Structures are given as structure tokens and as C-alpha cells.
Structure 1
Amino acid sequence: MTGELELQGGGELVSAEDAARWARLVELDELAEEFEPRSENTLRSYASDWRVWERYIADVGIPLEAGTPGAFFGFVIWRGKEGAAPSTIQRNMYGAAVCLRERGVDVHPNGPKKAKKAIDALVRMLAEAGEERGRGKAPALTMMQLRMMSKALPDTLKGLRDRAILTVGFGMAARRSELANLRTRDVVVTEKGLQVFARYGKTGARSPAIKKGENEWTCAQRAWQAWAAASDLDPDGPAFQRFNRHKMMGPISAQGIGIAIAGAAEAVGLVGITGHSMRAGLATAAREAKHDYRTIAEQGGWAPNSTALHEYLRIVDQWADNATAGIGM
């Protein structure tokens, strides 16, 4: 019959036009299945994990595209002998599994499971031996430390920028990438403080409000206004710029944000402070001020069931509601 086709697997005849529509829909469905948006940081991390996997298979002499339980178990043992921290090994293992699947490898479900058990065993072994690996979790930045860092910064253009990075970042419990991606128009000054629009984060866009500060050195509104006025920011340009000596050179990177924070900390003798210290610091300070879980999660863009946030709050709660209190010890 002219202009008609028989659908494969059925006896119904349809027009060529309808068949073409269904074919396009199938293509879109396949694209949807494959679509997984990833940040540049995630892509870099996966590429790094894959390079580690390539070193592993070359060293032990197994096929590159091996997705068996033995391959993953051996990977943990191999990385452990290299002295890698358990958290690093787990990240490498997960990244390698993702890359293997993208290459069409049928990763055995027991592979990552066996590897996780081996990682848990490594954690216990290291604990029994009293050995610490990795830099550990970033310490929470306290309000007193934030004040010290901010006050010590010079009133130069770079110093004003770094003070704004510190106070705005702390107030919104920002990730480094969120600060790096802010545009000038995303930071709005109001009578009550700052309204900040974070365009993209792990939990999507968010718009935290930062109340006007009580202390001049930790007030995000004052710090932002001083930086914006001194730098004559373009409303459509980046909120924070990088410097080459004393000259502004365009948008700052997430790494640049981290360098600014670490530099301000080192200037006052604080060790181990990173960009993540601000997120931990806001969470713990807010909990100490009796704010509830939901309020803190919304401010920092944490998922409702965030394990990381639960850990931050437990640090405070373990003293507020302690089993050894009031028992006559």
C-alpha cells in the first residue's frame, strides 16, 4: 500500500510520516537516557580517576576494560599500597566505574560492592595502626577566626575583594564554584542585608539572604559595597575578579577563590582552612545559635538528607544534648 509501512513486531499499518515521528521520538528517548550534565570539576575528576585506573591495570597486567569484582578489589589493594587515603580510593573507584560504563563495559554490580568492603577493611586497619592518611576534613571556620582573617586584610583592592569573598562566602555557606560564578547583578543590596542569587550548585539555583552584620569585619553587606565601589564592577560582569599583581584580569576561578581563602587564613596563622571551611563554619555557627536543620540546609544549599550537614550539626548537638550530662559524673 503506497505511503504506508508495517511497524516491526506488529501487524498494524501506519503512514510513513507517522513512522518518521515515532523514529524521532525513539532518538530523543535514547538521548535522554544518555544525558547526564556534569560540571567541569566533575569531568576533570573523572579524567583523573581514569588515569589512575590506567596506571593500575598497566602495573598489575590485567585488561584495561575489566569490570569484574576481582579488578575492583585489586584496585583497592593496589591503591592502599601506594599510600592513598580511603576516601581518595573510593572516589577513584567510583570514577573508574563511571568511565568503564561509558566505554560500554558491563561493570559487575559486585565489583564496587567488594571494593567498598575492602576500603572499610583498610579504614579499620589504619585505625588500629594509628595511621592517618589524607588531609582529613576541613576544619569549620569560627566566627572569631573569620573576624581575625577579615580584619587582617589590607584595604587594597585585592584586600577588599578577599574580605568580600570571605564574608559573602561564609554568609551563604558558599561552595567555591558558586562564588566564582556570581555575576555582579546577582548580589543585591537591601535595607536588611544582601540577597544573593547563586546560579548553579549541587542542589540547583538558590537565593540565600545574608543579614546585615553586627560587626564591621564580618558584615557581608559592608564588605561587598566597599569592594564593588572600589572596583567599579560591570553589572553584567563577574562579581569577583582575579588579579595579576594589582591589576584586575577577568573572572576568578573556583581555585582562585580557594587560594584567596587559604591565603587570608595563613596570614593570621591558621592552618588547614579551605573553601569548605566556610560551609562547615556557617552550619556549626547557625546550629549554636539554635537554628533548625531546614533553615541551615536552605541557606547553604544542602540536600534535605545531606550526610555532610548532619555531621556538622552533630558536632554541636553532641554537647547540647549529651548522655553524660546530669548523671552525676
Structure 2
Amino acid sequence: MTELELHGGDELVPARDGELWARLAELDQAAEEFEPRSANTLRSYASDWRAWERYVAEVGIPLEAGTPGAFLGFVIWLGKEGKAPKTIERNLYGAAVSLRERGVPVHPNGPKKAKKAVDALARMLAESGEQRGRGQAPPLTMMQLRAMSKALPDSLKGKRDRAILTVGFGMAARRSELANLLARDVVVTEKGLLVYSRYGKTGARSPAIKKGENEWTCSQRAWVAWAAAADLAPDGPAFMRFNRHKMLGPITGQGIGIAIADAAKAVGLEGITGHSMRAGLATAAREAKHDYKTIAEQGGWAPNSTALHEYLRIVDQWADNATAGIGM
């Protein structure tokens, strides 16, 4: 095909510089391959690749083995290591992505067939009653949230943790969303808080959190108390980390999780994680008769999120139960 370029208005003439077209082709290829990834995703892929490296070294196969047999063996190997099915599925997907990025021809049916082995392992574990992994985080109830908030000391760190709990619950925040908030992202209004989360799994969002009815779970009251006590700079982090009650710098997602878990343990609650707040907001909102769309928008869930469907099912299984009204 003859290379063409625009010349003298709209006239098409043969291109004099094929190098320009080659550069354009490179940009097009880069656009096809472009896939922005968060720091968490990159860490996960790195962990998946390390697992793959251990596997191929132990069983004695090439590192660049992208065959169905290699993937199936990977699943079996991970299962023998005691990994949970969800972890194995993530390792499998991450290893396949990493192999492709290294130019390894991955058999198109390799990961798909190996996924069937993951499903088989999950069924086997369910039938035997064996549980692997932490399982799904339990939803944080409003009563539990109130108890955790009330038990926090009236110190600078206590004020911070109360704001983390109430703002995080109200916006159904992921840990990374809270950790990356700037002080100016949290806007106090007459009706409550407007929080601007600049990025997340489903993109930027701006959930509104109404002024609370209870002093211990009111996010507006908690935020105002923390922001004033910490003298936050508008362009600085919304939440800071501490060392012996001294502020050092912006908190991390891990720090958010620790603050939540510590507040839960202080009132005798076990198994509460950062994700418990997302599950808690979803279930509490459903119990208050809010619809799927409203809850999904508040928490930044995708329209067809299986995780959100599962949270709502916890409530719906009792609200509309097949055994109700049948004379049992």
C-alpha cells in the first residue's frame, strides 16, 4: 500500500518520510498495550511471579513455560502448599500476565483449563469442611462502629482514628482511598461531608455523607475535631501516621487497616478489617431499604459487582425468604 500524507490543503500525496509513519505505528501499538495499574496491582503481580519462579525451580521446568501442563501443575503445586483457591486463582492469572509481558507465547487455553482445577479444589475443600484463607471480611454493624468509636481515647491519635472509622464507613472506602485523601478533598457542608476520592477501582467519585444522628458515628463531627486538632494543611494529607503520638507524615493503606483492626480489638471484636467497613455500609444501607444503584454509587462498586451482590444477599435472604408465610 502506498504511504500517503496530507499536503496543500486536503490533497493526499505519497509520504516523503516513512519514519513518521513508523513512529505513529509505534504509538498505536503502545496504545493497544497500555494498561494503567495501581501500586497494589503491581505488588500483586510481583508476588504472583515470585510464586511462579519458586514453582518452576522446584519441579524443574523452564521459567518460560506457558503450556497448559505448566499452568495445571502450578495450580496443583499451590494447592499442596495450602493456598486458598482465591489466592491460587490470583497467582495463576498474575503469572500468565507476567509471562505474556516477557514475550512468552502463552497457550490460549492454558490458564482457562487450570482454572477448572482451582474450581475442583474449592469444591473438594467445601465438601471436606476445610477452610483456607481469611474468608470474606465480616460486615461491621452500626452498633459495633459506635462501640469502637466511643472506646477511642480523646487524644490526637484517637481523634484521627474516629475520623478514619466514620468517614471510611460513610463512604464505604477502600483503605487506599482513605490513605490518598488530601485535607481539601473532605468538604464540610451544612448537611454533612462531601468527600472527593480522586481515584479508585471504578475511577474518581464524590460520595456525600449525611450529618450523623449519633455523636460517636457522625463523620462530620469526627472530621472537624480531627482536622482542627491536627491543624491540617489544605493541600496536605487528610490522615497522618504517628510515632509515639507524634505526627510524621501521610498514613499508608496498611496504616488505615491497622487503625481499624486495633479499634476493633479494643472492644473485643476479632476478624474486623478495612474491608469490613465497605461490607458494613452496604448491609446497613440495604437494611434501611436503599436500592442497589444508590449503594453502588456510594461505595464506588461496579454496576454488576459480585461482591456487592453478596453483601446485599446477606440482608435480602431474610427480607424475601422462600420459607416465610408457608406455614412452617
2:291 aligns to what?
A: 292
**Which whole-Å deviations, capped at 9, do the CAs of 1:137-172 have from their partners, x for residues lacking one?**
100000000000000000100000000000000000
**Which whole-Å deviations, capped at 9, do the CAs of 1:42-96 have from their partners, x for residues lacking one?**
1111001100000000111111111111111111111111111111111111110
What is the deviation of 1:27?
A: 1.9
What letter is aligned with 2:117? A
What is the deviation of 1:309?
A: 0.4
What letter is aligned with 2:185? D
- Gap regions ≥5 residues in structure 1: none
1:152 aligns to what?
A: 151
Check conservation: 1:6, 1:13, Cα contact below 8 A: no
Check conservation: 1:140, 1:280, Cα contact below 8 A: yes
1:312 aligns to what?
A: 311
Question: 1:30, 1:167 → 2: CA distance?
Answer: 45
Question: 2:188, 2:20 → 1: CA distance?
Answer: 51
What letter is aligned with 2:229? A
1:38 aligns to what?
A: 37
2:14 aligns to what?
A: 14
1:105 aligns to what?
A: 104
1:127 aligns to what?
A: 126
1:244 aligns to what?
A: 243
Question: 2:75, 2:213 → 1: CA distance?
Answer: 50
Check conservation: 1:67, 1:100, Cα contact below 8 A: yes
User: After the TM superposition, which residues 172-183 of structure 1 pair with which residues of structure 2 at under 5 Å, given as runs?
Assistant: 172-183=171-182
1:37 partner SS: coil
Question: 2:19, 2:46 → 1: CA distance?
Answer: 38
Q: For residues 21 and 229 of structure 1, do their structure 2 counterparts lie closer, same or farther at Cα, with a shift above 3 Å needed?
A: same
Work out the number of aligned pairs and report it.
321
What is the deviation of 1:106?
A: 1.3
Question: 1:316, 1:6 → 2: CA distance?
Answer: 64
What is the deviation of 1:15?
A: 3.3
Question: 2:160, 2:153 → 1: CA distance?
Answer: 10
TM-score for both structures, normalised by structure 1: 0.95
**Which whole-Å deviations, capped at 9, do the CAs of 1:200-251 have from their partners, x for residues lacking one?**
1000000000000000000000000000010000000000000011110010
Question: 2:24, 2:50 → 1: CA distance?
Answer: 37
- Gap regions ≥5 residues in structure 2: 5-11
What is the deviation of 1:7?
A: 3.7
1:249 partner SS: strand
Q: Does 1:139 pair with 2:138? A: yes
TM-score for both structures, normalised by structure 2: 0.96
Check conservation: 2:3, 2:15, Cα contact below 8 A: no
1:269 aligns to what?
A: 268
What is the deviation of 1:23?
A: 2.6
Large movers: runs of 4+ above 6 Å: none
What is the deviation of 1:194?
A: 0.1
Query: What is the RMSD of the two structures over their aligned residues, measured on CA atoms?
Result: 1.4
Question: 2:72, 2:139 → 1: CA distance?
Answer: 34
Question: 2:112, 2:267 → 1: CA distance?
Answer: 44
What is the deviation of 1:126?
A: 1.0
What is the deviation of 1:6?
A: 5.7
What is the deviation of 1:20?
A: 4.2
Q: Does 1:210 pair with 2:238? A: no
What letter is aligned with 2:319? A
What letter is aligned with 1:248? M
Question: 1:131, 1:276 → 2: CA distance?
Answer: 23
1:165 aligns to what?
A: 164
Check conservation: 2:183, 2:233, Cα contact below 8 A: yes
What is the deviation of 1:30?
A: 1.4
What is the deviation of 1:22?
A: 2.5
Question: 2:259, 2:313 → 1: CA distance?
Answer: 29
Q: Does 1:254 pair with 2:253? A: yes
What letter is aligned with 1:15? A
What letter is aligned with 2:301? W
1:234 aligns to what?
A: 233
Check conservation: 1:241, 1:249, Cα contact below 8 A: yes
**Which whole-Å deviations, capped at 9, do the CAs of 1:77-118 have from their partners, x for residues lacking one?**
111111111111111111101100100111112111111110
Q: What percent identity do the matched residue pairs reach?
A: 83
